[in-house]
Chains A and B, each alone.
Chain A
Amino acid sequence: MTIQAANFKELRLDRLSRDFGTHNALKDVSLTIRQGEFIALLGPSGCGKSTTLNIIAGLLPATGGGIWLDEKRIDPLRPEERGFGMVFQNYALFPHMSVTKNIGFGLKMRGVAKAEIERRVAEAVALVRLQGQTEKLPGQLSGGQQQRVAIARAIVVEPPLVLMDEPLSNLDAKLRLEMRAEIRRIHNTLGATTIYVTHDQEEALSLADRIVVMRDGQVRQVGIPEDLFSRPDHLDVAEFMGFRNKIAGKAASVAGEHATVVIDGAAIVGRARNTITQGAAAHVAIRPEDLHPVAAGSVGLKAQVISTEFRGREFVGFARMADGTDLSFLARDKLAPGAEITLAAEPDRVLVYGDAA
């Protein structure tokens, strides 16, 4: 394999901002990306992740801050001068060009000799496993194949940076899993540096070396997938990472790593994730898969069952607490709607956030 990523040490985003009129789409986003990393920008729609990607690509000017590739400031450059590979959400394949022409386009624009273009396109085609499809037009390909062409077209020019904007969102569930593995394989083969935008936390967790969680145009947390999954820094990040149960209470005591929160008369113990003031309002966050019914009379959250759904190995339950807070949990047995239950989780699986922070 001779297609390789161009060399650089790091890409630095320095306090990038973007205003659309009065609306701040991006506020002081700073981030350093090292060569070879696979970075996922993760967040709900409207969080600024695509805006960030477009600014890096040069498709959208920043209204503040700068971008450095090692010691070179690149944000004044036009997209065609940056030479980053980009995979668009709708693929943006040239509909009037064959697969070969699409993939070779970037090389042609760079004035690469014809024979060399042919050789490298053939390599890229092999890398994305599209042999035998090369003379077709994009319209004759399936979604997954179009996706492969888009990836091949972006990487064949050996860009220092590959930018991907929700590349799997138009594919069906099975294909999405396949292409996810494929994208990671190609990243590893090339030693490329990839910035990958997604709103799907599972995708980010399985693909990325580091995840950047964004919200309201700001970076909320940067970390390795394992940390983000089990130790989010903020309540909103926890919620986004799957801690769907968010219950308000009052901090009773803090002892080392652990904090106790009193909710509806029950003392719930969990791991403290930020500064918690004794006696102040606090929230606990628990994943539905960690919350289970326990024997009546045990310490836990009292709630009334709304419904249960069969999920194969177990039931997903929905219940409501006396103050109206909705809970989701896992149960081994089907529960009758209206039943009074007590739900509890292992203290290590419960996160506690003080409200003040």
Chain B
Amino acid sequence: MSDTAPSIPLGQRLAARGLDGLTLLVVPAVLFLLALFIYPFFYGLFLSFNPKAGGTFANYQRFFSDSFLYGTIATTLWLALPVTIVTLLMAIPIAFRVRTMRHQRLLTTILVIPITLGTVLVAQGLLNYLGPQGWFNRALLTMGLISTPVKLLHNYWGVMISLVITGFPFTFLLTLSYLSGVDPALEQAGATLGAGPWQRFKHILLPLLLPGLAITFCLSFVQAFSVFPSAVLLGAPAGPTRVISIAAYQAAFEEYDYSMASAVAMIMGVVQLSIVVAVLAARGLLYRGPAGGGKG
């Protein structure tokens, strides 16, 4: 008998910590992330501090002193935040209704189609539908509800509508999956205790859904914030819908100032990140345990 216990081979010890041959399968993903995300990010960050002219921070100084540039932050937020809130407010009641439907899959498929169509096709469709001679205006004119066509294209509303259409399915699917995660027995328990539908929503479902809705908000917001095609096709890219991605595009491909474009991209990232961090911090204050009613 020796004094020390027999040592366990290194391979076995690593396996006990979850490291074995299978771990190698993450290598392609790591390489992918490095090549397509981490490297470009740091390259862009570096580039943004090497302006064509001026000191290290010249690009950032230029951005924040030119209202034509810094104004794009407000313009983009003014689109992205309402769009996110509107899609979320639409998704919640629809998800509630769909949850109890029998042909859930069919409806879900129909709702998801706008995702697969992509922004450009939706924009093209809206150009026809919402135009001065489009069905929408013609229908309203025929019914006598308006006397001159409503202007819904090449302004704020065109972009807003298109973002809601393309963003909704994503928000809806996430909301539906969070809602399906709440044990239906909880609502039944609420009902037997005397809570009506609104009280059950307010006291039971909403508190359990909020953490998920916060995540949904962040993801939808990031998508809406990086709006580009619909802002160009359906908006007024020179004016009211000159969003931040247009500013980056113009810096890169009209002024050929990659350094400035990188700076704009960095600022875009910081704005997105600060909103996301704020929402997630607020989420940290909520209950985040399981949404089930007991063990089971």
Contacts and interface: CB of A to CB of B under 8 A. Distances in A.
Given A95-B292, A105-B203, A90 B193 contact: no
A215 B293 CA distance: 29
A83 interface: yes
A184 B190 CA distance: 25
A109 B195 contact: yes
B193 A157 contact: yes
Contacts of B186: 92, 94-95
B293 A91 contact: yes
A90 B293 contact: yes
A211 B295 CA distance: 29
A139 B189 contact: no
B188 A79 contact: yes
Interface stretch (B218-226, B229-237, B283-291): B283-291
| Residue from B190, B196, B291 having most chain A Cβ neighbours under 10 A | B190
| Residue from A59, A84, A92, A93 having most chain B Cβ neighbours under 10 A | A92
Contact of A95 (B191, B192, B195, B293): B293
Contacts, number: 100
Contacts of B194: 80, 83, 106, 109-110, 157
A90 B295 contact: yes
A85 B289 CA distance: 26
A88 B208 contact: no
A58 B289 contact: no
A90 B185 contact: yes
Given A59-B188, A79-B188, A109-B199, A92 B193 contact: no
Interface size class of A (residues with CB under 8 A): 20 to 34
Interface string A75-107: 000111011111010111111100000000110
B292 A84 contact: no
B188 A146 contact: no
B90 to A, nearest CB: 25
Contacts of B191: 58-59, 78-80
B204 interface: yes
Contacts of A138: 293-294
Interface in B171-207: 183, 185-186, 188-196, 199, 203-204, 207
Interface in A176-222: none
B289 A139 contact: yes
A121 to B, nearest CB: 13
Given A90-B296, A95-B291, A57 B185 contact: no
A143 interface: yes
Contact of A59 (B192, B204, B207): B192
Nearest to B183: A92
Given A95-B208, A105-B193, A137-B287, 20 more contacts: A57-B188, A57-B192, A59-B188, A59-B192, A78-B191, A80-B195, A86-B188, A86-B189, A88-B185, A90-B183, A90-B185, A90-B294, A94-B186, A106-B193, A109-B193, A138-B293, A139-B290, A143-B294, A150-B294, A153-B193
